[in-house]
Amino acid sequence: MRFLHTSDWHLGRALHRVSLLDAQEAFLDHLIATAREERVDAVLVAGDIYDRAVPPLPAVDLYDDALHRLAGLGVPTVMIPGNHDSPRRLGVGSGLIGRAGVHLRTDPADCATPVLLADRHGDVAVYGLPYLEPALVREEFGVHTAQHAAVVGAAMDRVRADLSARRAPTRSVVLAHAFVTGGTTSDSERDITVGGAAAVPATAFSGVDYAALGHLHGCQTITERVRYSGSPLAYSFSEAAHRKSMWLVDLGPRGELAAERVDCPVPRPLARIRGRLETLLTDPALAPHETAFVEATLTDPARPEEPLARLAARFPHVLSLVFEPDRPPAERTSYAQRLTGRTDQEIAEDFVAHVRGGLGPDARERAALRDALGAARAREV
């Protein structure tokens, strides 16, 4: 049986206030085309369909269109909510939608009720574990610690119990949205440590043939049978080096597993560039980034004039500007030691140099400092 595993669409999300709705629409076109061309038996969407609990209407329209197109393929789809989604809102009409072949698993109490698929080798039970916030579901699962590992472990115990009661050999797939130990994070994922410890061991998913994970935005393999698809688009510059893809998973008659990555379209790449402003504006090696979304880190000792406007002349899609001036290491002395034996004038001049990345005051500025200090002393008399 062949599955297409994806997650973390984050419909409605922007990149530094630049709308990504067109790019998300292009991804969904690609998803539908891949499902058709690869003749997949089911599509698995492991959470964070939306970027927030109450998504903007254009994102809802895009999701609605995706549901109709998936149903039109005649390919079963299994979806779970992630920590960005509202399970209640996402699950509205799930019974009716399920009749069209799109199965929304949003209720933690139903985690051990699988979507049953079949091929010539027998049944495949697909279980959906919605994002499990310990504070909200610990009573349902009878656990006493506010930890993700505890609630996911309890949910998986239910899955394994249901699976063991089924006619052998029934193969199994689990969708889950969690941070699994060994995964690599980015700046884009919302912290899920609120309510308890976040990490879930990969062993929590033992006993099933494949665990289709969501939450982390980088495509990665935790074990051969436990994988993240990652997000289809980059949602922060920390993802600039990611290869965005989905997993095409083949599950054999005895649970044999083969997985390959299917690349997602890249409407505009992300680039991180670093250096002094004049270098960034003239370095020919940076020419490939002139059409990319750019995060520029300036290392000039002093802040240049109008840096963003000057960068935009070469990199019209620059979105982020960071200042990290090259400065000599600070002396490891206390504040009192640094002031010892220095005049008020010297201290003031040192402060100007400090805030300007080492560029001290010129003659006119030193004169202004002397006048200001003199006026201050006169008021004290």
Alpha carbons 296 and 301: distance in angstroms, whole number: 15
| Positive or negative torsion for Cα 190, 193, 194, 200 | positive
pLDDT tens per residue, range 254-311:
999 999 999 999 999 999 999 999 999 999 999 999 999 999 999 998 889 999 999 9
Q: Between 134-141 and 148-164, two packed helices, what is the crossing angle to 10 degrees?
A: 40
Split at pLDDT 50, 70, 90, the class of 145 is: confident
123 forms beta bridges with 118
Alpha carbons 180 and 129: distance in angstroms, whole number: 14
pLDDT tens per residue, range 336-347:
666 677 888 888
Pairing state between β 179-180 and 226-228: unpaired
| Residue 290: HSE in the Cβ half-sphere, 13 Å Cα cutoff | 10
Q: Is residue 325 within 8 Å of 301, Cβ to Cβ?
A: yes
User: Which pLDDT belongs to residue 311?
Assistant: 98
Split at pLDDT 50, 70, 90, the class of 213 is: very high
Ramachandran area for residue 196 (φ above 0: left; ψ -120 to 50: alpha; else beta):
left
Phi and psi at residue 142, to the nearest 5°: 65, 35
Q: Is the pLDDT of residue 202 over 90?
A: yes
79 or 366, which is more confident?
Answer: 79
User: Which pLDDT belongs to residue 374?
Assistant: 80
Split at pLDDT 50, 70, 90, the class of 349 is: confident
3-state SS record for the chain: CEEEEECCCCECCEECCEECHHHHHHHHHHHHHHHHHCCCCEEEEECCCECCCCCCHHHHHHHHHHHHHHHHHCCCEEEECCCCCCHHHHCCCHHHHHHCCEEECCCHHHCCCCEEEEECCEEEEEEEECCCCHHHHHHHHCCCCCCHHHHHHHHHHHHHHHHHCCCCCCEEEEEEECEECCCCCCCCCCCCCCCCCCEECHHHHCCCCEEEEECCCCCEEEECCEEECCCCCCCCHHHCCCCCEEEEEEECCCCCEEEEEEECCCCCCEEEEEECHHHHHHCHHHHHHHHCEEEEEECCCCCCCCHHHHHHHHCCCEEEEEECCCCCCCCCCCHHHHHCCCCHHHHHHHHHHHHCCCCCCCHHHHHHHHHHHHHHHHHHC
333 or 154, which is more confident?
Answer: 154
Phi and psi at residue 259, to the nearest 5°: -135, 135
Q: Is the pLDDT of residue 332 over 60?
A: no
Phi and psi at residue 293, to the nearest 5°: -70, 130
Range with lowest mean pLDDT among 26-35, 84-93, 263-272, 349-358: 349-358
Q: What percent of the chain has pLDDT over 90?
A: 77
| Positive or negative torsion for Cα 259, 261, 262, 264 | positive
Residue 307, number of CB atoms within 10 A of its CB: 18
Q: Is the pLDDT of residue 147 over 70?
A: yes
Q: Is the pLDDT of residue 333 over 80?
A: no
User: Which pLDDT belongs to residue 46?
Assistant: 97
Alpha carbons 42 and 354: distance in angstroms, whole number: 60
Split at pLDDT 50, 70, 90, the class of 130 is: very high
Q: What percent of the chain has pLDDT over 70?
A: 94
Alpha carbons 338 and 332: distance in angstroms, whole number: 10
User: Which pLDDT belongs to residue 115?
Assistant: 96
| Positive or negative torsion for Cα 30, 23, 49, 55 | negative
Alpha carbons 96 and 84: distance in angstroms, whole number: 24
348 or 8, which is more confident?
Answer: 8
Q: Is residue 5 within 8 Å of 252, Cβ to Cβ?
A: no
The identity of residue 52, as a single letter, is R
Q: Is residue 258 within 8 Å of 227, Cβ to Cβ?
A: no
pLDDT tens per residue, range 44-101:
999 999 999 999 999 999 999 999 999 999 999 999 999 999 999 999 988 899 999 9
Range with lowest mean pLDDT among 67-76, 158-167, 249-258, 321-330: 321-330
Q: Which two tokens stand for residue 177?
A: 């949205």
167 or 163, which is more confident?
Answer: 163
Q: Is the pLDDT of residue 194 over 50?
A: no
User: Which pLDDT belongs to residue 335?
Assistant: 60
